[in-house]
A and B are shown apart, each in its own frame.
Chain A
């Protein structure tokens, strides 16, 4: 690769991104309208859904909590794929996507960690803010990987090196997620037999709870994609602006 580092892509990453960010802008608009349409439906279905006979109002958090998982996991998948592309091609657009995936993913992961205990307390009674159930444990472990990723990025000097190192960690992290899942499944039973429950919450939904759950999934999935693309676009626009400013200053 000594020769022709860029013969495949003669246009610089910078000059290709204005049109790229235009396309992203359009995507954002479409997603925005879709979300605006879905939100009232989401609110309506959740509020009219029957109140759970055992858990009461607290059960409604389940219309928020599991759908957040999409963002939490997809965020990291986006980060890892973008990281792989960056290592392969060295283009900044991919690194910007990796950043977007990590930041939006962290947000969703954090919200999951907040809503989880609220539901746990409601379901299992006072004092049960935290239980080591499989889903919550996995989310916590994922959150630590996100945290490590962010720290690595901010503690590494040099933009390109930071991008390279975080790409590597992103790939490592995405491999870790299924390993954690597998291990908790494997040894979890021996660790905390009482608190581990692996069945999906959705499978235990009563009549009339399916629709709001479905709409919630759809809405929050769209919100995730929207935020991801938004963050990606902001990152690219900022780089362009900073670049223009740098070039005008130092000729």
Chain B
């Protein structure tokens, strides 16, 4: 096994080469663009209702299937609900679900994967056995069983989705930890008497950061889409409440004749995914110690 010379004694000094983390993140055009887009979307989702004359639960019985106009900016649905207000409501729901699941899935996955990989032995077997067991349970069944407790797209749904999404990440984190553990800079730190938590946080985490960020950014979109799938089966957000996923799903059937409910919801979903991916890619490049370009 050979390693790049910079790893011989210690982990590469991250800050010395390219400035502090904020500097590097702000230096990445993609990260800045992603952050700005995400901030704009959050602002729109929360401030938009103040400007809109219609609430998301209102129905305008004078306007069914109305195309976008000055009265209804994004048009109305079949039952006369204002698409602009609905899309913003869905965005708040979906941003909460997507960002919540990403944090709740990737964080524990990093901890479990690193501990299992670094400690090895029985702890490793039990943790990974638990992850494998979750993999073989049908999520639809678990969601159906828990659905009385899930409510309508609240925090319980976030926890459920995260519980099913963390396992794959935990596996890849563990696999990377296993190989990092044998690298010279980690061995050196251990022989110098560094404690396990110190090695994990100071020497393993920086090398795993890019993987984790990429994973978290993927999970945001995946969680939003997964919620729409559950809602499609009657297990996620329930009518009259909406999420971007349910709007896209409901609008898909009539997209050919009345494209606006589907188009605006799908567009916002795509923008959220785009923003998170841009931010993730930018952070990935900024965090990766091997990528010194």
- Indicate whether A and B interact: no
Q: Hey, which bits of chain A sit against chain B, CB under 8 A?
A: none
Q: Hey, which bits of chain B sit against chain A, CB under 8 A?
A: none
